[in-house]
Each structure stands twice: as C-alpha cells, then as structure tokens.
Amino acid sequence: MLVSEVHQPRDLSELLSLMRRLPGATLYAGGTELLREQASRYVTLPPELVSIASLLELRQVSLTERFVELGACLTLTEVLELKESALPELLALALRGVATAPIRNLATIGGNLATRSRFMDVWPALACLDALVELRDGSGARWINLNRLADDDGRPAFPAGVLLSRIRIPLERWDAVALRKVGRCGYPSRDSAVFALAARAEKGILAEFRLAFAGERALRLRDVESRILGRRLPLSAKERSAFAVEYREAATVLSPELALRFGTLVDGALDLLSR
Ligand SMILES: Cc1cc2nc3c(=O)[nH]c(=O)nc-3n(C[C@H](O)[C@H](O)[C@H](O)COP(=O)(O)OP(=O)(O)OC[C@H]3O[C@@H](n4cnc5c(N)ncnc54)[C@H](O)[C@@H]3O)c2cc1C
C-alpha cells in the first residue's frame, strides 16, 4: 500500500521552511484539482503533501482605493462573496463559470492559477486585468505580472517548488468587460478556453484595450493592444479589419476549432469599438 505523509504547517514561516526541507512536496489547497478523476474508494496522493488551505496568512483580503489583494487560499465562493467594490466584474464572471457551487466552496483561487496542466478558467480574467501574483520560495518573495506565468509559446509556466501567496488585482473603471467560456461546458477540456476582454475610453479616445484568451495555451497580444490604444473611436472599417487580421494570424497556434471561435470573439470586440 502507498503511504503519503501529510504535513500541516501552523503558519506561513513553518510552511516555507517545510518547502525548503521537502522541495518535491505537493501543496494541497482545496484539493479539487488534485483529486479530480479519482473515483475509486481510496484516493491516491503524492508521497509528500503539505496542506495549506487553513493558513490564516493565505486567507486574508486587503482593500485599498487602487487594488484588492486576495490570499491564495480564499475559496472561489469566498471571493464571490466580497462586496461589489472589491470584486472586479470580470473576475466575478469568471468565478461564476467555474464548476458547481459545492466545488467552488472548496476550490481556491491560488489553486486555479497554479494548476500546471493547462490554464484554468480564472486565469484569462486576471491576466486581462494585469493582476500581480506574489510568489514565495527559499530565495524570498517577489511580485510578478500573472501574464509571466505563461512561457514564450503561451504554455503554463508556473514554477516548481513555489508558493503563490497573494494576488493583487488593480481596481479600475472599465466601460466594457466581457467573458466567454468556449468549447465543451463543465470541466476545462482540450477544446475549451476562456476569452476575456476589458476596454475603457476617455474623451472619445481608446484608453485601455485588453484581450486575453487561454485554455491549453494563452494568447495576449500586447503589441497589437498598444497599437490599438490611443485611437479615436469609433474605429474605421480599415482599422478594424487590419487588427482582426493580426489577431487571426496569432491564433494559428490554437486548434482550428478554437482559432475559429477566437476569431469570432475578436470580431465582436472590434465591432464594439467600431460603433
Ligand atoms: C467536477 C469538477 C469540475 C471542475 N470545473 C472547473 C471549471 O469549470 N473551471 C476551472 O477553472 N476549474 C474547474 N475544476 C478544477 C478545480 O476545481 C479548480 O481549478 C480549482 O480552483 C483548483 O483549486 P484547488 O484549491 O482545489 O487546487 P488544488 O487541487 O489544491 O491544487 C491544484 C494545483 O495547484 C497547486 N497549488 C494549489 N495552491 C497553490 C498555491 N497557493 N501555490 C502554489 N501551488 C498551489 C497544487 O499543488 C496543485 O498542483 C473542476 C474540478 C472538478 C473536480
């Protein structure tokens, strides 16, 4: 019989010293992803497991005028229960689309962002909002833009042996946000992905335009975004079709089906800017 050793650190510093001592140990937050697809009577767990869900330091919420900071072990339900001013609409839309209420009661926001097999459903919304994540390991703590957790090919790049401790989400005014889950409904699959959009205009000029799409691969075309920004609205038909072509070209890394869906959603977003 396989035996797993389960560690239950009492606080963050004990967790970090455990992680230093056991670099191969698996962090267990809500466990919904780790235990998914284990339908037999006895579950199989990795040999070294560190339970982090109840650590107080990872369950805090801090709110300022400019951002909200979420502990990684807040459950999706707890985040959804935050007051409206602390919960960006795009994030709320993404959270409501994850699994079912009983799963959301266990699943954590950190676990959603730290899953390495693919990008889960909260990732594109927070990538679109340019959220920062605090990563901790033996060498200390650092904040990075969530988008950096995708490698140059757009594949998940969450580093091994690292704790995601907090997520800092800028609180900004958006004139338009949209989120669509495409492909098979339910658990994220090979042919599913999430599209997230946020845009803001100031005095008739496009001040912000961000578009993220992620499933097995993530797409966020900052160079195209920076060329759209600063344009007077509505976009001309010529501008609109030129940007649509750029997004379509970038989508060739996706499966044909996802590329088609992505193209349609981009057309919808550019249509919004052309009205
Ligand atoms: C029936 C079912 C339906 C689902 N549907 C969806 C869905 O529609 N959309 C969706 O996005 N997901 C879905 N999921 C997957 C899962 O519930 C979520 O992605 C969830 O947010 C994962 O969080 P967790 O706390 O349970 O992660 P865990 O299972 O605890 O961990 C997942 C991974 O992240 C690592 N990890 C966890 N926390 C941290 C941390 N703070 N720092 C570093 N690494 C960490 C773990 O080591 C593990 O590798 C579904 C799962 C099930 C069982």
Altogether, the residues listed in the chain come to a count of 275
In a domain, 264, yes or no: yes
State residue 73's pLDDT score. 98
pLDDT-based confidence at 15, cuts 50/70/90?
Answer: very high
238 is a domain residue: yes
Mean pLDDT of 105-114: 98
Q: What is the pLDDT of residues 187-236, one digit of tens each?
A: 888 899 999 999 999 999 999 999 999 999 999 999 999 999 999 999 99
Please name which of 220, 209, 225 lies closest in space to residue 272, comparing C-alpha atoms.
Answer: 209
pLDDT digits 0-9 by tens, 76-104: 999 999 999 999 999 999 999 999 999 99
Asked if the structure places residue 229 within a domain, the reply is yes
Residue 241: CATH number of its domain: 3.30.390.50
Spacing of C-alpha 61 from chain mean position? 18
How many other C-beta atoms are found inside a 10 Å radius of the C-beta of residue 184?
11
Four-CA torsion 81, 82, 88, 90, nearest 10 degrees:
-10
Span 25-40, average pLDDT: 92
Is the per-residue pLDDT at 41 higher than 90?
Answer: no
- Domain presence at residue 200: yes
- Residue 29 Cα: closest atom of ligand 1: 30
Residue 73 covered by a domain:
no
The alpha helices in the chain, defined as continuous H runs, are 12-21, 76-80, 89-96, 101-104, 109-114, 122-128, 222-228, 237-250, 256-273
Answer yes or no: is the C-beta of 179 below 6 A from any ligand 1 atom: no
Mean pLDDT computed over every residue of the chain: 96
Confidence at residue 9, expressed as pLDDT on a 0 to 100 scale: 98
Q: What's the pLDDT at 37?
A: 79
Compute the distance between CA of residue 99 and CA of residue 216 in angstroms, rounded to an integer.
Answer: 18
Kindly state the tokens that stand for 78. 């707890």
- The atom of ligand 1 lying closest to the CA of 27 is 47
CA of 34 to the centre of ligand 1 (A): 7
Cβ of 29 below 6 Å from ligand 1: yes
In a domain, 181, yes or no: yes
- Return the ∠ at Cα 80 (arms to 74 and 85), rounded to 5°: 105
215 lines ligand 1 (CB under 6 A): no
- Looking at the structure of the chain, the number of domains it has is 1
Whether 1 shows a pLDDT value over 70: the answer reads: no
- pLDDT band, residue 116 (cuts 50/70/90): very high
Strand order in the sheet with 26-28: 5-7, 48-51, 26-28
Mean pLDDT of 21-32: 96
Full domain range(s) for residue 184: 176-273
For position 207, what pLDDT does the model report? 98
Is any ligand 1 atom within 6 A of the Cβ of residue 177? no
Q: Supply 7's token pair.
A: 């560690």
Rounded distance, CA 124 to CA 92, Å?
12
